């Protein structure tokens, strides 16, 4: 199996993929690296990978907008999720006194915003496609530093100048596991999609083309009256006009459950768009794995 991740080597996406592969004993699988989130996502859609593991949400900075947009725009289904602890380090060939430019993925820079303002207020901040890409570039000049993982320091021969520089100590990123194809209520479960109802999560996208008082309340009430627990709800601009949104909803349960089926049928009648992204094992089924070490 080919597993697509955002590269190059040393990225947090790679760490998430290795955790996933360990969980499912996928020792014979091959990691394939892509330049950014979009390329890694589309690798599955275009048949360049069997699955792709993509960041979707961070505990400090919130959802990854490009991932949400790609889920809407493409035929791909979520078959799993993994959470990785993020330990940002400042990496460089030289010492901290030489640092003039600091590189990282936009999420990495944002998660260390206060640290950078306090300790490197005059440094030029540059965005890269991934934290590991930043680490590779930082190896070219002593005046450059990267915000990346300790593993990236090992990969590219850099010194760890400072550890745990994120603004909040508890920093976690949730990754989703994607397969190509459209999720339907009638398709049989295969492989990693299998899970008991109580240990499952379902994700969907809802669009209300005609805004009216109480429209969102009616959708939420559909879940409430069936005692289906929502784990996340978020709006995302439709890009059609200001104030027009898609809603991304995660909830506990599998779309084969009778109550969930009934709820989805009700929601479909109330909305203009209902896209089911997948039912998959919730991360709590991975609690035996030591996420503090990232594997």
pLDDT in tens, 54-76: 999 999 889 999 999 999 999 99
Residue 23 belongs to some domain of the structure: yes
Domain that holds residue 139: 89-162
273 and 176 belong to one structural domain:
yes
> For the sheet containing 245-252, what is the strand order?
230-237, 245-252, 200-207, 273-281
116 and 73 belong to one structural domain:
no
Task: Name the active-site residue from 120, 175, 247, 251.
Answer: 175
Task: Name the active-site residue from 67, 173, 222, 271.
Answer: 173
The residue out of 109, 142, 162 marking a domain boundary is 162
Q: Which of 141-150, 202-211, 285-294 has the lowest mean pLDDT?
A: 285-294
Task: Dump pLDDT digits (tens) for 164-175.
Answer: 999 998 899 999
Judge whether 223 counts as a catalytic residue.
no
- Cα–Cα distances in angstroms (integers) from residue 138 to residues 1, 9, 153, 157, in the given order: 32, 14, 10, 10
Q: Confidence band (pLDDT; 50, 70, 90) for 185?
A: low
Are 75 and 180 spatial neighbours (Cβ–Cβ below 8 Å)? Answer: yes
Is pLDDT of 189 > 50? no
Strands 172-180 and 245-252: unpaired
Judge whether 273 counts as a catalytic residue.
no
Is pLDDT of 186 > 80? no
Strands 230-237 and 245-252: antiparallel
Q: What is the pTM of this model?
A: 0.86
Collapsing DSSP states into helix, strand and coil, what is residue 251?
strand
Residue 109 belongs to some domain of the structure: yes
Is pLDDT of 198 > 80? no
Residue 24 belongs to some domain of the structure: yes
Is pLDDT of 93 > 60? yes
Averaged pLDDT, 183-208: 67
The residue out of 162, 186, 202 marking a domain boundary is 162
Residue 294 belongs to some domain of the structure: no
The predicted structure's pLDDT at residue 182: 74
């Amino acid at each position: 199996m080919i597993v697509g991740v955002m590269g190059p080597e040393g990225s947090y996406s790679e760490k998430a993929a290795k955790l996933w592969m360990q969980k499912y004993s996928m020792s014979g699988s091959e990691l394939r690296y892509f330049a950014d989130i979009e390329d890694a996502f589309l690798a599955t859609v275009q048949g360049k990978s069997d699955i792709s593991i993509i960041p979707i949400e961070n505990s400090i900075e919130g959802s990854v907008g490009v991932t949400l947009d790609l889920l809407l725009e493409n035929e791909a289904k979520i078959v799993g999720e993994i959470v990785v602890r993020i330990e940002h380090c400042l990496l460089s060939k030289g010492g901290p006194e030489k640092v003039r430019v600091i590189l990282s993925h936009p999420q990495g820079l944002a998660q260390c915003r206060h640290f950078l303002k306090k300790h490197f207020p005059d440094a030029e901040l540059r965005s890269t496609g991934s934290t590991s890409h930043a680490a590779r570039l930082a190896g070219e000049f002593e005046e450059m530093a990267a915000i990346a993982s300790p593993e990236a320091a090992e990969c590219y021969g850099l010194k760890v100048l400072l550890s745990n520089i994120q603004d909040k100590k508890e920093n976690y990123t949730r990754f989703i596991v994607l397969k190509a194809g459209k999720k339907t209520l009638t398709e049989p479960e295969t492989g990693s999609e299998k899970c008991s109802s109580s240990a499952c999560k379902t994700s969907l996208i809802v669009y209300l083309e005609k805004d009216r008082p109480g429209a969102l309340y009616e959708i939420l009430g559909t879940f409430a009256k069936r005692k289906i627990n929502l784990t996340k709800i978020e709006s995302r601009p439709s890009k059609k006009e200001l104030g027009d949104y898609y809603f991304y909803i995660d909830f506990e349960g599998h779309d084969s459950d009778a109550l969930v089926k009934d709820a989805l049928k009700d929601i479909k009648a109330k909305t203009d768009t209902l896209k089911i992204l997948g039912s998959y094992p919730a991360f709590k089924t991975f609690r035996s794995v030591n996420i503090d070490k990232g594997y």
